[in-house]
């Protein structure tokens, strides 16, 4: 059975069985190859539980272990645990460098850029993301996707909207090339908000509409909250205050109901609406 045909529970069981049998390298390889399925499902708790089987053991400094550490750092970031995410990403960076793997090192730098992002150190975000991008400049273009995304996000919150659009558009094109519907929808969402900041309301509306097919099919509750946020921001830009307030309140309800900690860029858009309607 192909990996993508197995349930998350089946993959998790295989990882735990391999680790329990002393085949830690095998377990780590499976975890490194499959952790994004938990991310796509919006199940950070389950993702961390899966990774525990390989990260609690003392493993060799390999590419796969570095990727698992990075993944754990990302789940911790989504949960809002800055200190633990920083620790995991610093460990991922050390392991990636010991393994001599530029792809894994680039990912660890991306993880550190996320921590800086939530700390409000946006110039540091751009620097770290640029360093991460440089490590993979001559490799598989897909490896540059995460660094480009974070460089765009840093520029966005610095108010460099034209540069942010260039980078988000580059990231969107990469997601389209590798047939990554989640990545496509994410950058359509981000581009929509930057276009609102640039006063291009019709362009933002088209981008928000384009991501809806993915958002409606996704099991990730974050996507539902972002749909409400997008519609609130769009209505506010059109001067439709009653509709904007209603969708803003719905966004708050969804965030609270699902225990969602917003990414800093999305939080900035919610804060702008809160200043108007909160």
Closest to 192 measured CA to CA, from 176, 174, 212, 178: 212
End-to-end CA distance of the chain: 51
Instruction: Judge if 104 and 5 occupy the same domain.
Output: yes
Burial 202-232 (b: 16+ CB within 10 A, else e): ebbbebbeebeebbeebebebbbbbbbbbbb
pLDDT for 5 equals 78
* Contacting residues for 61 by C-beta, under 8 A, at least 6 apart: 94, 95, 98, 99
Contact 99, 62 (CB under 8 A): yes
* Domain final position from 175, 207, 239: 207
pLDDT of 1 over the 80 cut: no
Instruction: Judge if 157 and 81 occupy the same domain.
Output: no
What is the total count of domains within the chain? 3
pLDDT tens digits along 25-83:
999 999 999 999 999 898 999 999 999 999 999 999 999 999 999 999 999 999 999 99
In a domain? residue 212: no
pLDDT band at 277 (very low <50, low <70, confident <90, very high): confident
In a domain? residue 128: yes
In a domain? residue 213: no
| Main-chain dihedrals φ then ψ at residue 82, nearest 5 degrees | -60, -45
* Domain final position from 207, 239, 264: 207
The Cα–Cα gap between 197 and 172 comes to 19
Q: What percent of the chain has a predicted confidence (pLDDT) above 90? A: 93
pLDDT band at 4 (very low <50, low <70, confident <90, very high): low
Domain boundaries, position 135: 122-207
* Domain final position from 119, 134, 164: 119
pLDDT tens digits along 173-199:
999 999 999 999 999 999 999 999 999
Instruction: Tally helices (H) and strands (E) across the chain.
Output: 15, 0
In a domain? residue 187: yes
Instruction: Judge if 36 and 91 occupy the same domain.
Output: yes
Q: What is the mean pLDDT of the chain?
A: 95
Instruction: Judge if 153 and 93 occupy the same domain.
Output: no
Average pLDDT of the segment spanning 92-120: 97
User: Which token pair is 22?
Assistant: 């002393």
User: Which token pair is 27?
Assistant: 């377990």
CA distances from 176 to 110, 164, 180, 271 (A): 21, 18, 6, 30
Instruction: Judge if 127 and 104 occupy the same domain.
Output: no
Instruction: Judge if 49 and 89 occupy the same domain.
Output: yes
């Amino acid at each position: 059975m192909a990996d993508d045909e197995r349930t998350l529970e089946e993959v998790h069981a295989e990882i735990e069985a391999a680790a329990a049998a002393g085949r830690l390298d095998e377990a780590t390889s499976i975890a490194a190859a499959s952790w994004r399925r938990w991310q796509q499902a919006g199940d950070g708790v389950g993702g961390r539980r899966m990774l525990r089987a390989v990260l609690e053991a003392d493993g060799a400094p390999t590419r796969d272990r570095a990727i698992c550490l990075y993944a754990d750092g990302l789940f911790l970031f989504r949960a809002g645990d800055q200190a633990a995410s920083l620790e995991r990403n610093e460990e991922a960076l050390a392991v990636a460098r010991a393994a001599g793997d530029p792809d894994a090192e680039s990912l660890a730098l991306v993880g550190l850029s996320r921590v800086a992002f939530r700390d409000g150190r946006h110039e540091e975000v751009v620097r770290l993301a640029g360093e991460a991008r440089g490590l993979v400049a001559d490799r598989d273009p897909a490896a540059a996707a995460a660094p480009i995304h974070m460089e765009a996000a840093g520029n966005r919150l610095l108010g460099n909207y034209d540069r942010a659009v260039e980078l988000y558009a580059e990231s969107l094109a990469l997601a389209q090339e590798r047939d990554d519907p989640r990545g496509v929808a994410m950058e359509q969402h981000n581009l929509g908000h930057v276009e609102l900041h640039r006063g291009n309301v019709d362009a933002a509306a088209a981008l928000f509409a384009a991501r809806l097919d993915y958002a409606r099919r996704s099991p990730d509750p974050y996507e539902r909250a972002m749909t409400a946020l997008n519609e609130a921001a769009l209505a506010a830009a059109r001067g439709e205050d009653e509709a904007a307030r209603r969708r803003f309140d719905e966004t708050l309800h969804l965030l609270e109901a699902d225990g969602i900690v917003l990414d800093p860029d999305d939080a900035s858009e919610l804060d702008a609406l809160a200043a108007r309607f909160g």
